[in-house]
Structure 1
Amino acid sequence: MELLEYQAKELFREVGIPVLPSQKIAEPRELKKLQIPYPVVLKSQVKVGGRGKAGGIRFVANTIDAIAAARAIFNLSILGEYPKFILAEAQFNAEQEFFLAVVLDYDLQCPVLLGSATGGMNVELLLENLQKVVVENNFSSFLARRLAVKMGLKSHLLQSVSDVIEKMYRLFQEKDLELIEINPLGVNASGQLMALDGKITVNDYAWARHQELTALNSVNQVSEIPDSTQPQWSWYDDKGKVAIICNHPDLALLTWDLVAQSKGKPACCAVISEVNSVLTASEQLHQVLAQLPDLKGLKVILINVLTDQATEQELIEAIAEYLEIIIEPQSKSTGEERQLVANGALVRSRPTSVNKSFVNRKPLSSVKFVLRFLSSKLDWFPETESEQQVYCAENLEEAVAQAISLVKSK
């Protein structure tokens, strides 16, 4: 479960991570009693990224401007989400911005410290300078300092940023988190640090052990558009070669990072949600695949999903159905039976009917698929023109290497 920014900052305060004075706003008229001196920044409280570019973050200098801006933000949908609250926060003049995170790496089965000396909205620049320290055994102050050194920090920043990393890890451990992220961690002219934005993901199985988190998350945070059918696009680069599809933003960030570090060129990243009340995981996957032909330079689709076996099977069937339509669009009749085999067993046997949403779609016949699932072993997938189109990998590193190899071979 992901917390909103204002909730994350409440936890930051508990462990001494510096945050600005702020006030949660449920409706625009509450700004008439704002306790924070102007100028302030108003932030839409939604879980998706890209708030700034979408207009969900606005700077205001007085009450009249603040009320007008708040009304606009409350009525602004960002990737299908409307805010239930707005965070009004004091402004901070940052001269430098860092990125810090502690994430649970499922491949390594241990926490990983991440840091970049170039934080903020420029994801490409952030990833180019991303540093990593693996917490293989017990955490110590030395590991926090090692990350700060790898980020190129010196003097007083070396110590102060190390202290923030230690506090982040303490919160990560005490609250059973999967992710804690500060982006950006701002630094002003006097060297003061401030967590200007925060993100926290709590392990779904940890809620029962942390009643304080249950209370924190008791409010219905976000209302979604009931008829939204759009996938959540995290990043986009029309010059890239590899499209990434994941089922969690953190997994998407890690996958993008590994592709970029391997000298690959990510084209885009889409996140499918397993808690979407409108579309199933396979329907969301169909929506993503239907839009990918618009990327003219696309060579490989890398699908990296960590979920339960039932959802994996659903996605496998969706991919197989998608490939069937591309491979033999004219040879299928409504009553013809086709068996799809995965993991050495029958997935399903049914009359094949073309999904109407794909009838007018330009096929991706030249694009290769690289699949990485947690538990499913994929032993068979259709081939096109005697050429293998789907490749399967047991871990993320192998999947990324296969994707890069396919790009270079074309």
Structure 2
Amino acid sequence: MFEYMGKELFSRFGLRVPKGGMVSNPDQAAQQAEEIGFPVVIKSQVLSGKRGKAGGIKFADNPEQVRIAARDIMGMSIQGHFVEKLLVEEKLNIDKELYLAITIDLATKTPVIIASAHGGMDIEEVAEEFIFTEIIDVELGMQSFIASDIVRRLGVRLNTPIGKELVRVIMTLYKIFKDVDAELVEINPLVISGEKIIAADSKVTIDDAALYRQKNLPRAENRTAAEKTAHDLGLSFVELDGDIGVMANGAGITMGTLDTISYYGGKPANFLDAGGGTGEEGTAKAIELILSRNPKTIVINIFGGITRCDDVARALAKVKETVGIPVPVVIRLVGTNQEAGRAILKEAGIEAYDFMQDAIKKAVELAQ
């Protein structure tokens, strides 16, 4: 979710958020600011962190400053994401910034609370000893004694209004996490302002597999046009900023291919996991997706188990004949029906390699 969506969700569950609203142009931003009262903060709405350091967050004390800040932020690119929406909010008086998040611990397969008394812009740089975690038993759930222990570890006294409110915030955040099938709910910073605790930011990610039962939640799509096409085809595809097109059959082997390209000095143009069992038609569409990135060369890394090498070879030969492949293709092809597949490729003028390293080294040389 965009930040403003996450805050609307927080507010619905009773968490305090700053006064503000989403806008899409400088005039709306100025109007929103006047309704809130000055000073205000203008925040870019992109599905990315590091907005402040990128210049995507600005402060303003009057309508003209708001318009100037909004014009500066609108249309800028933050880590490849273009700003099309802004959140205009009241500027908070901050006594202390905390960090609070709940996500899934992959080792224990249970929810885990991550908290720190050192929240804010540079949370990634906070020393590990100042960040603590608490595994939550899904059958027990979030209990007040667990939340109280977290508050104590944050250095906040429990017998104060702030301590009691912080217990409520932690328990509410867990309820949000559970009720909306979240993979992550994060507040950074969670601001102590006088006797109020305010979620000054929000990051919420919902489990894709649960969207069928979360139809009333707002959502933001973060895929490019090519990534949406791949998703519809059942392929895992992510655009990257390199010039070597990549296709492999499995997430692990694809990541290994990307790492090996980087090891030999190349830059991958994409991540494409064609998966096990992708047939001739799916493979052909995968290659067409790679070509849409205009790579200098393409490396295909197939270790055939469920995926048949002759299917991959036929698809590659078909694309070369019908669509045309204007760049060199380097393929490592071993596994099920590899001899038949290599014969098809040889007829199409494409050499197959036995080892991934040899194929990738050649692809990097061609790209350079």
Q: Deviations over 1:371-405 (max 9, x none)?
A: xxxxxxxxxxxxxxxxxxxxxxxxxxxxxxxxxxx
Identity %: 28
CA distance in 1, matches of 2:222, 2:120: 24
Distance (Å, rounded) in 2 between the aligned partners of 1:282 and 1:348: 23
- Quick one: which of 17, 34, 40 aligns to 2:15? 17
What letter matches 1:312 in structure 2? G
The answer to whether the 8 A contact 2:26-2:71 is kept is yes
Q: Distance in 2 between matches of 1:325 and 1:342?
A: 27
Residue correspondence of structure 1 range 264-279 to structure 2 within 5 A: none
In the alignment, is the contact (CA less than 8 A) between 2:265 and 2:364 conserved in 1? no
1:172 aligns with 2:112: no
Query: Structure 1, unaligned stretches of length 5 or more?
Result: 228-273, 289-307, 327-338, 361-410
Give distance in 2, aligned partners of 1:102 and 1:194: 17
- Aligned residue among 139, 148, 152 for 1:149: 152
Equivalent position SS for 1:193? strand
AA partner of residue 134 (structure 1):
I
Please give the secondary structure, in 2, of the residue aligned with 1:53.
Answer: coil
Show the 5 A alignment for 1:323-342: none
User: How far apart are 1:36 and its partner, in Å?
Assistant: 1.2
**CA distance in 2: counterparts of 1:126 and 1:18, whole angstroms:** 28
Look up the SS of the partner of 2:92 in the other structure. coil
Q: Distance in 2 between matches of 1:167 and 1:138?
A: 15
Secondary structure (helix, strand or coil) at the match of 2:204 reads strand
Letter in 2 for 1:348: L
RMSD: 3.5
2:250 maps to which residue?
Answer: 310
Q: Pick from 131, 136, 140 the counterpart of residue 138 of structure 1.
A: 140
CA contact (8 A) 1:5 1:198 kept: yes
State whether residues 19 and 194 of structure 1, in contact with CA within 8 Å, keep that contact through their aligned partners in structure 2: yes
Given the alignment of the two structures, is residue 125 of structure 1 paired with residue 123 of structure 2, yes or no? no
Residue 386 of structure 1: aligned partner: none
Bigger Rg, structure 1 or 2 = 2
Aligned AA for 1:16? G
Counterpart of 2:55, as a letter, is G
The alignment partner of 2:216 has SS state of: helix
List structure 1 segments (4+ residues) > 3 angstroms apart after TM superposition.
Answer: 220-224, 280-288, 317-326, 339-343, 356-360
Residue 195 of structure 1: which of 199, 207, 215 is its match? 199
Q: How far apart, in 1, do the equivalents of 2:133 and 2:170 lie?
A: 12
Distance 2:253 2:69 in 1: 45
- The answer to whether structure 1 residue 186 and structure 2 residue 191 are counterparts is yes
TM-score by length of 2: 0.65
Q: Which residue of 1 aligns with 2:286?
A: none
Q: Kindly provide the amino acid, as one letter, of the partner of residue 310 in structure 1.
A: G
- Aligned mates of 1:208, 1:6 — CA distance in 2: 22
Look up the SS of the partner of 2:89 in the other structure: strand
Distance 1:223 1:172, change over 3 A: closer
What does 1:186-265 align with in structure 2 at a 5 Å threshold? 186-188=191-193, 190-213=194-217, 216-217=218-219
Distance 2:41 2:154 in 1: 29
Cα distance in 1 between the residues matched to 2:45 and 2:154: 30
1:359-378 matches, cutoff 5 A: none
- How far apart, CA to CA, are the structure 2 residues paired with 1:222 and 1:320? 27
Aligned pair in 2 of structure 1 residues 130, 324: CA closer, same or farther (>3 Å)?
closer
| Equivalent position of 1:377 in the other structure | none
State the alpha-carbon separation in 1 of the partners of residues 154 and 304 from structure 2: 44
Q: 1:120 to 1:143 in 2, by over 3 A?
A: same
CA distance in 2, matches of 1:80, 1:325: 23
Letter in 1 for 2:257: E
Q: Does 1:83 align with 2:88?
A: no
| TM-score (norm. length: structure 1) | 0.59
- Report the alpha carbon displacement of residue 106 of structure 1 after superposing the two structures with TM: 2.0
- Describe the SS at the equivalent of 1:187: strand
Output the amino acid matched with 2:145.
F
Q: Corresponding residue for 1:111?
A: 111
- The corresponding residue for 2:296 is none
Q: Give the counterpart letter for 1:103 in structure 2.
A: T
8 A contact 1:282–1:318 mirrored in 2? no
Shift of 1:319: 3.5
Q: Shift of residue 310 of structure 1?
A: 2.6
1:30 aligns to what?
Answer: 28
Would the aligned equivalents of 1:281 and 1:314 in 2 still touch at CA under 8 Å? no
Partner Cα separation in structure 1 for residue 27 and residue 163 of structure 2 = 43
Paired with 2:91 and 2:189, the residues of 1 have a C-alpha distance of 14
Aligned pairs for 1:372-391 within 5 A: none
The one-letter code sitting in structure 1 at the alignment partner of 2:27 is R
Alignment partners' CA distance in 1, 2:6 and 2:215: 16
Give me the whole-angstrom Cα distance separating, in 2, the residues matched to 1:127 and 1:40: 33
CA deviation profile, 1:167-201 (whole Å, cap 9, x unmatched): 0001011101011000001112x232111011001
Structure 2 residues without counterparts, runs of 5 or longer: 267-300, 310-331, 335-351, 354-358
| Offset of residue 119 of structure 1 | 0.4
Distance 1:64 1:87 in 2: 17
State the distance in 1 between where 2:96 and 2:238 align: 42
